[in-house]
Each structure stands twice: as C-alpha cells, then as structure tokens.
C-alpha cells in the first residue's frame, strides 16, 4: 500500500509539490499540472529539470493524471489531441517508470445524454489502450464527467467493450456525489459512491480519495469521511478484500479563493496547508479502519 496525491492542489510550483509530499512522509506524486503544462506538454528542458528534482528529492511520479478524453474533450469532436497526448506521454512515462496513466472517455454534453455513444467511446479507448499495452503501461479510467462515468453501467460497458489488459479503473470516491446517474429518463438522481464502487470493484486497481456533499444545490468538498462519498465504508471494504494499491489524495477543497482581495500568497498557503492536512486526516481515517478490522 502506498500514498500519493495530486500535489498541484498543494502548490502550482513543482518545488512546493515536492515539499508537501515530503512533509507527509510520502514518496509519490500523481502528476497533473506541471510547470505550466503537464507531463506530456512541457518542454524537453523542463522535463529534464523535473527528472533531476525528483531524483534529488527521492520522490517519484506513480501516475500521470492526463487530460486524455477528459471533461474538456467532447465526444462529438475528433479525438486527435488525446491520441497525441498519449503518444507524447509514453516515452516520458517509460523514462520515469510510471505505471498508470489516468484517462477518461470523452465528454457527453447534457443535451446529448440520451444518445448512445458506446461504440464511439469504445473505439477511441481501444486505440488508447492499444498504445498503452504496446508501451507496457496501464490506462486507469476514472469515473468522472465523461461517457464511462455517466453510471456504473457505462463504466462496465466500456471495460467489457475495450476488453484490454491495459484498461483498468481508478475509482474516485467523491465524483459520484456530484455526478448524475444517467440511466432512464431525466431528471436524473445523483450517483451513489457505494453502489458504483460495488458494481465495478473487480476492475479497480487504484483509488482517488475525494469527498463532499451537495449543499443548497452546490458542490461542497470536504475532508475524507466528512461527506457523502462513503469513503470510510469503501476503504474498509478495500482492506477487507486485501487491497494493497495506492490511495491518491484529491481534496478539491481550496478552489473558492476567487475573491480578488485574497492575495496569491494567501491562496498558495491555504492550498498547501489544506493538502497536507487532508493527507494527515486520511491517514487517521485509515488507521481507524485498520483498528476496526483488527489489522
């Protein structure tokens, strides 16, 4: 078992990401925003500098939180940019020994949710999974705002349709709280984290820790175990089943500093302290669950 997180939620600066990781006593970062871009888009010079800093700090990237097929990539538009991001990411992932690349399966706009895009989603993810398999890496599909995240049935249809050893799942505990369950006819209810997890857990190889609730129609993210994401229940079930993979922190909590009176320094300090506190609270929750299980 290991601990990691989207350390860009601690700091936009890579040195700050490393600092927060080391303060938690962890060795891994799930890299997302990096040097004004991401792992696939930064320059060769920036990439070499990142590699040097990782080696010096004794920190590694365990996963690349890519933008492949994400909520900014509509399924009605060509997938070329996602294919290109995959092609650029592969050699850099291989150099750094990164096993996982987080992907999604292309945005379906709300007004199109009653249409069946299964064949198109499967076709696109097959191309991406084939590239991953050839490179010896694994795509982990996240249950987020894309075709495969519209319900647990969509996720299962995607996994079964692609049918590749290079396609597994990263389960995000907090996303179902705020995502519609697009089955049947609108108005749609929100998804259940526990129901979604139970349906897909045999394919889960990695876990994002996020939590929250809806308050007066707005998404409010919380510390782990304090929202409606069934975090404690899911973690307990994972441990009972012998899960020994990664837990990746994705707080999403300090995203409310849009007030222009809040200085950038204050915002950065709040991000950093929240990320570290979030990691510590998850470790406390995990210790409590282990105690309950007698581990």
Structural domains in the chain, sorted by start? 2-293 (3.20.20.150)
CB atoms within 10 A of CB 198: 14
DSSP 8-state assignment for residue 248:
E
Q: Are strands 138-142 and 167-172 parallel, antiparallel or unpaired?
A: parallel
Residues 6+ apart with CB under 8 A from 167: 125, 129, 132, 138, 139, 141, 158, 159
The position carrying tokens 């990664």 is 246
Q: How far is CA 42 from CA 45, 88, 260, in A?
A: 8, 10, 29
Kindly tell me the burial class for residue 116, based on how many C-beta atoms sit within 10 Å of its own C-beta (0-12, 13-18, 19 or more): exposed
Determine the pLDDT at residue 262. 64
CA distance 42 to 73: 20
In 77-211, where does DSSP find H-type helix?
80-96, 118-135, 152-162, 175-178, 193-200
8 A C-beta contact, residue 45 and residue 51: no
DSSP symbols for 180-227: B--SSSSSPPBP-HHHHHHHHGGGEEEEEE--EEEETTEEEE-STTSS
Determine the pLDDT at residue 256. 45
8 A C-beta contact, residue 63 and residue 248: yes
Beta bridge partners of 246: 2
Q: How far is CA 69 from CA 66, 118, 121, 221, 268, in A?
A: 9, 14, 9, 24, 29
For 184, half-sphere exposure in the C-beta direction (CA atoms, 13 angstrom radius) is 8
CA distance 198 to 47: 39
- Supply φ then ψ for residue 78, to 5 degrees: -60, 145
Q: How far is CA 194 from CA 156, 188, 224, 287, in A?
A: 15, 18, 15, 21
CA distance 100 to 283: 23
Residues of the chain with pLDDT under 70: 255-262
For the chain, the distance separating the N- and C-terminal CA atoms, rounded to the nearest angstrom, is 13
Q: Are strands 100-103 and 60-65 parallel, antiparallel or unpaired?
A: parallel
């Amino acid at each position: 078992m290991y601990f990691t997180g989207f350390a860009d939620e601690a700091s936009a600066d890579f040195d700050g990401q490393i600092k927060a990781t080391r303060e938690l006593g962890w060795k891994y970062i799930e890299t997302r925003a990096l040097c004004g871009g991401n792992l696939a888009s930064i320059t060769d010079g920036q990439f070499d500098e990142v590699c040097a800093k990782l080696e010096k700090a004794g920190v590694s990237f365990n996963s690349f939180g890519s933008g492949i097929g994400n909520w900014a990539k509509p399924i009605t538009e060509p997938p070329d940019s996602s294919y290109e991001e995959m092609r650029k990411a592969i050699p850099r992932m291989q150099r750094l020994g990164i096993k996982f690349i987080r992907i999604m399966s292309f945005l379906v706009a709300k007004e199109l949710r009653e249409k069946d895009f299964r064949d198109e989603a499967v076709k696109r993810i097959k191309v991406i999974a084939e590239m991953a398999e050839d490179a010896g890496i694994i795509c982990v599909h996240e249950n987020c705002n894309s075709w495969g995240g519209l319900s647990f049935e969509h996720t299962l249809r995607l996994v079964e349709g692609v049918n590749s050893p290079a396609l597994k799942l990263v389960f995000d505990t907090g996303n179902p709280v705020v995502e519609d369950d697009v089955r049947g006819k609108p108005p749609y209810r929100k998804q259940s984290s526990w129901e979604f997890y139970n349906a897909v857990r045999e394919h889960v190889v990695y876990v994002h820790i996020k939590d929250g609730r809806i308050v007066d129609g707005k998404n409010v993210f919380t510390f782990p175990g304090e929202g409606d994401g069934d975090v404690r229940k899911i973690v307990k079930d994972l441990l009972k089943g012998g899960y020994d993979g990664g837990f990746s922190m994705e707080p999403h909590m300090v995203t409310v500093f849009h007030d222009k009176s809040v200085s950038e320094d204050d915002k950065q300090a709040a991000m950093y302290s929240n990320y570290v506190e979030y990691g510590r609270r998850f470790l406390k929750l995990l210790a409590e669950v282990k105690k309950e299980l007698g581990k």
